[in-house]
Structure 1
């Protein structure tokens, strides 16, 4: 014969309150196995197991009807879990969005009207986000007389917010959405591109040939970065070889632009790199900084490596030191 337990013992075993156990009995979820002559409810071990399951399902957000179906074997635990997992994931996305909005409000002065806008920005659909970025690039590149391939390259720099973005990604999206809607930012970046590519030399920079050369320089830089981060000494033959190839490629790049090939000048320029002077020059380049901010935010949203001027400067110092060494 199964041992029966009074409701107080059942409450201690399941972690449910006595009133909750009575409620589930009255609602027909888990009825007691027996009633004593005095009308006291008693439960066996199977009842206790069912009540423990009820508590778990309720903690996970299941409603009474769902619990009844599972206990009656009319629905599987897996089906119930799938439904509630979707609900929980949707709630998590909403919480992430709300936290991003709240953090933005805490971080900067925000009006009541802006709060509604911030919430709208994080709630945008993929299509809405894509249209916003497309409209931004339509404005920035309107009338820009350069090779179509370069325009496509610019327009391809766009955010792709994942289905389950982190708070950091949502905050980056809020800032990006704000700056691409900002007339001052849009106008300044547009003016920068029109100045940069308003000359014949500027147009040449945007040709497929020059973009291919720029890509070769990027690959060389990545090789230098990998060697520097791996601890290759700047006075090693490997460092000297990388720096010499970078100098030669830089000289070729300048020659393609101006017709003047001067390898010694390229070496001197690289060997004379100065971090402080470089930072000061970079700070004065308004258009470059605007594009850098856009690119950084896109990188955060897309989960890709972010531009890091300090790391770049460290690699340039490493190559400069390699070129200053006596190759003999």
Structure 2
């Protein structure tokens, strides 16, 4: 071991340096041996002595080592062969390269884990991640050309070829993962078939359009309008087959018609032909794999992903099927909606339904109900929503939070409060004597619809919990007659509010017959 400095020169022994810097003697000796800290002198016994600048020099070495810089590079800095700035830049570049490699390795491993890949796939996935930009473009180009081979849809083909996966120079793990998934997706025959169907549809409907850019922008605008209106309708609880869906569809068709100018045999006005054509376009475009393809392309390049179309698309296609032509209002549906009788029916129905709700125990909330896919809790939440929505219409501020939780932790209080709010709004706003919407539907009829809904769902709740189903006997017959008037012509199509009418046994109560009319099995 190096000894102590005893000659009074002010030089430091290795032990004293260790005490001053907190570095181990072994580390200081190693750095000294590698010419990072040359001794200033030696004792007669040969022990190393260091000058007063040694602590500062050791701090430089320690700091550079903490940043991962190698000893050879540190020696060059200390010997003034290069500057700290030059060394830092070189090592930063080296670290960046290591980080990119680690990101690549991480992305491949995460993709392997997510896909459940077999060992045989590892070389292929690693190779995909290392491809150059030109090689990535070639994969997509070959895919598009193969999928669209023989289809005369130049605009559609150009759009696909223009959207190539350009990874940035320093891609994130998410971008690398998206590229790996995209490269795997384009090998799927189902995606190729889906793109080909879309291209063939484009070829059938395309025409000589003078301003393709303007036409494309108009189509994009209409697609966004459809997405927004469809999602708004879903949020507002508008059933696709309900009369309330017709104004939405009419607006969408009117916005869509100009985009058909220049196509083969373009429709010029709203009607069955126009709606059938729009429905065909939407059904053709409803390709989940194609939607995923575009999402991955955006993820690879770092562009914002296109909004999802599934919710709005499902609603809009169902609404078009339910409304194949412009709606011609049957004013007779408004007959028989005497405001006083409707209000009394609401009071009697909610009285009996509230008793059912009050009897629901916490353990009952998970029970299934005759409403397909709904538990008792979901059914109660919907019933509360019906009251809240009617209240908001009466107050002139229709709600759009259909999918929110309206029940909370106390289903009894939530239902009672919603009934109280609706009853107050019906009277205080004058709703029962006003008209609403583009068809000037009487407010009394809107309340009557709420009565029908609550009585039908009250039957659902009674059936789910084993309670008697003969609810509101004083007004059930009148409510059934109202249901025939309001919903008698409603289509029973996919996405409809009601299943096909079921038979009711002889002697069934009016509430049972209402449930059967609205598609419940009451046997």
Q: Scaled by the length of structure 2, what TM-score is found?
A: 0.48
Name the counterpart of 1:151: 157
Please list every run of 5 or more consecutive structure 2 residues that lacks an aligned counterpart in the other structure: 1-7, 230-235, 237-248, 320-397, 400-435, 441-523
Query: Aligned partners of 2:173, 2:262: CA distance in 1, in Å?
Result: 45
**Residue 172 of structure 1: which of 169, 178, 187 is its match?**
178
Name the counterpart of 2:215: 213
Query: Aligned runs of 1:30-69 on 2, under 5 Å?
Result: 30-69=37-76
Instruction: Please state which structure has a larger fraction of its residues in helix.
Output: 1
Change (3 A) 1:325 1:160: farther
Query: Aligned runs of 1:1-328 on 2, under 5 Å?
Result: 4-146=11-153, 148-180=154-186, 182-185=187-190, 187-197=192-202, 199=204, 201=205, 203-204=206-207, 209=211, 212-219=214-221, 248-254=254-260, 257=263, 258-263=265-270, 288-309=287-308, 313=312, 325-326=437-438
Farther-moved stretch of structure 1 (12-21 vs 125-134): 12-21
Does the 8 Å CA contact 1:36/1:42 hold for their aligned counterparts? yes
Does the 8 Å CA contact 1:4/1:42 hold for their aligned counterparts? yes
The size of the alignment, in residue pairs, is: 297
Change (3 A) 1:259 1:122: closer
Does the 8 Å CA contact 1:149/1:208 hold for their aligned counterparts? no
What secondary structure does 2:116 align onto?
coil
- Compute the displacement of 1:245 (Å): 7.9
Query: Aligned partners of 1:226, 1:16: CA distance in 2, in Å?
Result: 65
- Compute the displacement of 1:150 (Å): 3.5
- Compute the displacement of 1:188 (Å): 1.7
Does the 8 Å CA contact 2:42/2:49 hold for their aligned counterparts? yes
Does the 8 Å CA contact 1:251/1:266 hold for their aligned counterparts? no
Larger radius of gyration: 2
Query: Aligned partners of 2:168, 2:149: CA distance in 1, in Å?
Result: 29
RMSD: 4.1
Change (3 A) 1:216 1:310: closer
Q: Scaled by the length of structure 1, what TM-score is found?
A: 0.74
Does the 8 Å CA contact 2:175/2:299 hold for their aligned counterparts? yes
Of structures 1 and 2, the one scoring higher in RCO (CA 8 A, sep 6+) is 1
- Compute the displacement of 1:34 (Å): 3.8
